[in-house]
Amino acid sequence: MRIGFAVPVSGSWATPENMARVARGAEELGYHELWTFQRLLHPRGHAMGPTYRSVHDPVVTLAYLAGLTSRVRLGVAVLNMPFVSPALMAKQLASLQAVSGGRLDAGLGLGWLPEEFAASGVSFERRGRRAEEYVPLLRRLWTEETVEHEGEFYELPPVQQDPRPPVVPPILLGGSAEVALRRAGRLADGWISSSREDLDGIGEKISVVKEAARAAGRDPEALRFVTRGVTRVRSPGVAGREPLTGSFEEIRRDVGELAARGVTDVFHDLNFDPEIGSPDADPGESMRRAEAALEALAP
C-alpha cells in the first residue's frame, strides 16, 4: 500500500505557505504521493459542501510544489477532460511532467456539474464517448512525432507537439458507474475513487475494473487503484463510524482493510473535512490538525 496526503487546496487553509509546509513535511515523512483536485467554479446557492466553494487550480498548484520537492509523486484527482482540448491538456501535463522530473500521476475524469460544462462551452451529454476519444489522443500527442486525427469530438491536422515527455505520465480514470469502471480497465493505468465512494464496497468496483482489463487483453495486476481517503480525525469508538473517520489508530486500521480489498494507493484528504477545508474554518487550527495527522498517519 502506497500512502499519500492531499495538500491544502480548498478553503481558508489553502495558502501557498501551507501548501509548501504540507508538501515538504510529507516528503520528509516518507509519503509516496501528494494530491490535488479540481473545482472550476461554484454555482451560487448550490447545496454542495463547503469544500467546493474556494479551490485552487490543481495544475498550477502541482507546478509550484514540483519546485519545492524532489522525491514525492504529484497527482491530481481529477482533471475533467471535457473542460479543455486534448492538445491543451497534453501540453500542460507534459510540461508538468518535465518540471517535476517525471513525478506526475494524471487523474482524469468526466465532470458532473452542469454549470461547469456551460462555462466551458461544451455539452454535458455524451461525456463517456468523449473520454473514449480523448485518452488515446492524449497518449498519441505524448508519444508520436506527428499526430493527425479526425474524430467525433476532436480534429487535428498533421501536427507536432514538442517537447514530448520522456516518460509518459500514468493516466488514472475516475468514475463510479459500471461503464466508467470498465473504461478504466480498458484504457487507463488505473482507477481513482471519488470523495463520495462507499469504501465498504470498493472491492467490488476494483473487480469490475480488473475484469474489463482482462477482457481487453491487459494485465489487471499492473493497474493502480487509488482511493481518495476522505479523512476526518474524531474521537475514538463512535458507533457506526464511516471508514477513515475516527482516531488515528482507527484510521490506520481502515487503511489496512482497504489494502485487503485491493486498493494499491490511499491518500488522506483533509480538504473534505468541513472543519478544515472550508472558507469559514480557522486556518491556524486547520494547519495544527493537519500537521498532527500528517505525522500520525505517515507510512
Average of per-residue pLDDT across 18-30: 98
Residues 17-45 as b or e (16 or more Cβ within 10 Å = b): ebbbbbbebbbeeebbbbbbbbbbebeee
132-189 pLDDT per residue, tens: 999 999 999 999 999 999 999 999 999 999 999 999 999 999 999 999 999 999 999 9
**For the residues of 21-47, what is the DSSP string, one character each?**
HHHHHHHHTT-SEEEE-------TT--
29-78 pLDDT per residue, tens: 999 999 999 999 999 999 998 999 999 999 999 999 999 999 999 999 99
What cell was used for 191? 482507477
pLDDT value of position 271 = 98
Which has the closest alpha carbon to 26: 15, 37, 17, 35?
35
270-298 pLDDT per residue, tens: 999 999 999 999 999 999 999 999 999 99
CA–CA dist 173, 191 (Å, integer): 5
Strand extents, DSSP E, the chain: 2-6, 33-36, 73-80, 104-109, 147-150, 155-159, 171-173, 190-192, 224-230, 232-233, 245-246, 265-269
Average of per-residue pLDDT across 120-131: 95
Alpha carbon of residue 8 to chain centroid: 14
pLDDT value of position 247 = 98
**Region of residue 240 (left: phi > 0; alpha: psi -120 to 50; beta: else):** left
CA–CA dist 120, 140 (Å, integer): 24
pTM exceeds 0.75: yes
Average of per-residue pLDDT across 14-19: 98
pLDDT value of position 93 = 98
Strand extents, DSSP E, 89-160: 104-109, 147-150, 155-159
Which has the closest alpha carbon to 173: 155, 154, 186?
186
Q: Which residue has cell 473545482?
A: 39
pLDDT value of position 223 = 98
Average of per-residue pLDDT across 206-234: 98
Rg from Cα positions in the chain: 19
The confidence band for 128, taking pLDDT boundaries of 50, 70 and 90, is very high
Mean pLDDT score across all residues of the chain: 97
pLDDT value of position 237 = 87
Share of the chain above pLDDT 70, in %: 100
78-94 pLDDT per residue, tens: 999 999 999 999 999 99
146 within 8 A of 76, measured Cβ to Cβ: no
